Amino acid sequence: MRADHATAVHDRGSMTNYRADYLTMEAISAMPFKSLGHDVLIHERVTLVGIENISIGSHVRIDPDVILLATGSLTIGCYTHIASGVFITAKAGFEMKNFANIAHGARIYTINDDYSGAHLMGPTIPADLLSLSPGPVLMEEHASLGAGGIVLPGVTLAEGSVLGALSLIGRSTEPWTMYGGVPARPIKQRRREAIRIGQELLESSRFSENTVR
């Protein structure tokens, strides 16, 4: 099910690689995704739980050691990237829209235990003895999550907002604003030229090409 080694080497500038293979599009298409676009790269060491609940757009790359727990709806838009070591639990629903990106080792949670001590906690406990607080997470277009960042249930990363590396956020963000810290606070505003550039790319003939590498 892995991509042809000679092709992988050619695509990476004739470099020699070890354990760096991505699945072929044929292998990916054989999986029972809810929906699947074109030009998609998924590394063979990605863990997918609940493939039937996963929708993937076009021009998407998912790197090694990513874990996607799609016990609820999980939607990935076009021109998106999920870097290595990312963990997403989508029990209450997760969506990243077009041009959103998640950097190495980030964590996204859509459900929380009750930490008050009034209930038991953990995945081995009967459901009637738990008290869970679910909340879907949304990354709007051009939103970005930095390396090691943590997003808690119910958060919307608004259009163009960025959460910096090693930051934690439990409240929704404002559009085109950079955040950082624990807990994360707004740092500065971002420019918005990416909106026009992204829309032009979606409407151009390049959308039909295979560009992911």
pLDDT digits (tens, 9 = 90+) for 15-74: 888 888 999 999 999 999 999 999 999 999 999 999 999 999 999 999 999 999 999 999
User: Token match 């041009």: residue?
Assistant: 99
- Residue 54: the pLDDT is 98
- Is residue 76 predicted with pLDDT exceeding 90? yes
pTM: 0.91
- Residue 210: the pLDDT is 85
CA 129 from centre of chain: 31
Position 153: which residue type?
A: P
Q: Are the C-beta atoms of 21 and 41 separated by less than 8 Å?
A: no
All residues at 6 or more sequence positions from 13 whose CB lies less than 8 Å from its CB, including other chains:
none
| Dihedral of alpha carbons 109, 113, 116, 121, sign | negative
pLDDT tens digits, one per residue of 80-101:
999 999 999 999 999 999 999 9
Question: Whole-angstrom distance between the N-terminal and C-terminal Cα of the chain?
Answer: 18
